[in-house]
Structure 1
Amino acid sequence: MHHNDPAVIRDLLHTPATWAVVGLGDNPNRTAYQVSLWLARELGINLIPVHPSAATVHGFPGRARLADIPDGTTVNVVNFYVNSSLVGDCVDQAIAEKERLGIGALWLQLGVIDEKAAARATQAGLAVVMDTCPKIEWPRIVPGDGAGAISG
């Protein structure tokens, strides 16, 4: 069974990076939209929205698939906002793009659980965080920081 490593979480949230956010569209009522806005504003994360609509979100141009991210782009983390029943295929796509994009870690959001996919990713040399959210983890690693609120 997968266990999240607090040191990996700390490193991911403290390192300036580019995160591809699979499932991030332009609907402001979706959790992916709200949390990704927090990642960009509060943590300075560069985002690549990955959604079939390929919409620009928070000023970041979107892509329909991970495979559509241009060569020469480094994606440090792939963050998944997809149903658990679909995430295995998405993880496999990230594994396939690992070398080309320099992917080092996968983050499966709160409620997104696939033990077999996490094992495949770990075996492929990727760090994996599963079934939690950066906004939940941030105050655990930076108590009293106050960066939890999304300003409108």
Structure 2
Amino acid sequence: MTYSDAYLKKILTRTRKIAMVGVSMNPVRPSFFVGRYLSLKGFEVVPVNPGHAGKRLFGAEVRADLASCPDDIDMVDIFRRSEAVPTIVDEALERFKGLKTIWMQIGVEHAEAAAKAEAAGMDVIQNRCPKIEYQRLFHELRMGGFNTGHVSSRL
């Protein structure tokens, strides 16, 4: 799947509140690292993990499921196996009336669930990481020595 930089940047610019499904409390897990990074960048991250419901992570209460999340979620970020995606998408479409984006992390894809979300008016990203895309599109990777293809006089 290919997504234009403009499309990804539009999604990341308009998103304010993210329900992160499958987030881990373990600081060495990718989901923890991504959630922490996004929260430090000003996104409100609502952690969703039934095994840790009621605990606090990134300054927010961990929710058991999407049904227990606040109403004003902009994006559902899925850190679960691909076979879990249809159930998550169904729950998200039923729960959130203002939802704009379903985002599936690296290695997570489900064509039928993506088509269903798109038919409901959602933007859908598969097999990508919002942290990586944010860093790339907002020129943060160059500080780590990566060539982002963007030329700037800023350090």
CA RMSD of aligned residues (A): 2.0
Give the distance between the partners of 1:3 and 1:126, measured in 2 at CA: 17
What amino acid does structure 2 have at the position aligned with 1:121?
A
Output the TM-score relative to the length of structure 2.
0.82
Residue 74 of structure 1, aligned match among 72, 75, 83: 72
Question: Deviation at 1:3?
Answer: 4.3
Residue 62 of structure 1 corresponds to which residue in structure 2?
A: 62
Question: Residue 44 of structure 1 is aligned with which of 25, 42, 45?
Answer: 42
Which runs of 5 or more residues in structure 1 are unaligned?
A: none
Kept in 2, the 8 Å contact 1:77–1:106? The answer is: yes
Residue type of the partner of 2:3? Answer: N
For residues 84-126 of structure 1, give each alpha carbon's deviation from its aligned partner in whole angstroms, at most 9, with x where no partner exists. Answer: 1111211111111131xx2111110010010111001000111
Report which of the two structures shows the higher radius of gyration computed on alpha carbons. Answer: 2
TM-score computed with the length of structure 1 as normaliser: 0.83
Task: Give the partner amino acid of 2:75.
Answer: V
Unaligned 5+ runs, structure 2: 145-155
Q: Which has the bigger relative contact order, CA under 8 A and spacing at least 6?
A: 1
Task: Tell me how far apart the structure 2 counterparts of residues 60 and 77 of structure 1 sit (CA, whole Å).
Answer: 16
Q: How does 1:20-31 map to 2 (within 5 A)?
A: 20-31=19-30
Change (3 A) 1:44 1:146: farther
- Within 5 Å, give how 1:1-152 maps onto structure 2: 3-15=2-14, 17-41=16-40, 43-52=41-50, 53-54=52-53, 55-70=55-70, 73-99=71-97, 102-144=98-140
The separation in 1 between residues aligned to 2:107 and 2:56, in whole angstroms, is 25
